[in-house]
Amino acid sequence: MTDDPLALFDAWYAEAKAAEINDPDAMSVATATPEGRPSVRIVLLKGHGPEGFVFYTNADSRKGEELASNPQAALLFHWKALRRQVRVEGAVEEVSAAEADAYFATRGRDSQIGAWASDQSRPLDRRETFEARCDEARSRFEGSDVPRPPRWTGFRVKPERIEFWSDRPHRLHERRLFTRSEDGWDEGLLYP
């Protein structure tokens, strides 16, 4: 049994990719205002490793604004087919412009256009307004690569706590909690 939570995450993630019918990379991300009012939504995991767990979004979204004033987040993966969850908590930093550019370049053109058209979390009067903004972005970038919108970026959650939960019979669920220490990770078992 590994004592490296990132290796354990890789193993569980690989099993989730094989077992889940869709979105094994979907995770809830919770953020909060400086006053401690929480909000949560699903995003897709786009990279992970010892430095952290990365997702992409619009920095002007609600989550982006909350992270700007309170750079802490909690992530939750729920892999239903496996009856497992992984909880990650830690401080958040924005990825570099070069990293965001590189990821944006891998997205399909329609998603790139959508990123220009969407002011995420800002209400729009009608669906047609959004479609008109897509058309406008489409003609603006016709015949050229779509650059990354300046407020479209990635955030990296640097794990300080990672908990692995797996279902066991008779509600004797297993919970392994890893907390970041000076030179690695401390591990403890939690009781269901």
Ligand X SMILES: Cc1cc2nc3c(=O)[nH]c(=O)nc-3n(C[C@H](O)[C@H](O)[C@H](O)COP(=O)(O)O)c2cc1C
Catalytically active residues, by annotation: 171
Coil/strand/helix, residue 71 = coil
Q: Which of residues 65-124 bind ligand X (CB under 6 A)?
A: 120-121
According to DSSP, the residues that pair with 108 across neighbouring strands are none
Closer residue to ligand X, CB minimum distance, 61 or 85: 61
Strands (E), 59-148: 72-79, 84-94
State the number of binding residues for ligand X (CB under 6 A). 15
Sign for the CA dihedral angle at 107, 40, 162, 166 comes to negative
- Least gap, CB of 113 to ligand X (angstroms): 15
* Separation of alpha carbons 122 and 110, rounded Å: 20
- Least gap, CB of 167 to ligand X (angstroms): 22
- Least gap, CB of 191 to ligand X (angstroms): 32
Q: Which of residues 163-182 bind ligand X (CB under 6 A)?
A: none
How crowded is residue 103: how many other Cβ atoms within 10 Å of its Cβ?
A: 18
Closest to 117 (Cα-Cα) out of 100, 101, 139: 139
- Least gap, CB of 170 to ligand X (angstroms): 32
Q: Which of residues 14-73 bind ligand X (CB under 6 A)?
A: 23, 26, 39, 41-44, 55-57, 61-63
Closer residue to ligand X, CB minimum distance, 155 or 178: 155
Binding mask 130-169 for ligand X (x = CB under 6 A): ----------------------------------------
* Separation of alpha carbons 131 and 120, rounded Å: 14
Closer residue to ligand X, CB minimum distance, 26 or 134: 26
Kindly state the tokens that stand for 101: 């550019």
Closer residue to ligand X, CB minimum distance, 26 or 32: 26
Q: Burial-class residue 166 by CB neighbours within 10 Å (0-12, 13-18, 19+).
A: middle
Per CB under 6 A, residues contacting ligand X are 23, 26, 39, 41-44, 55-57, 61-63, 120-121
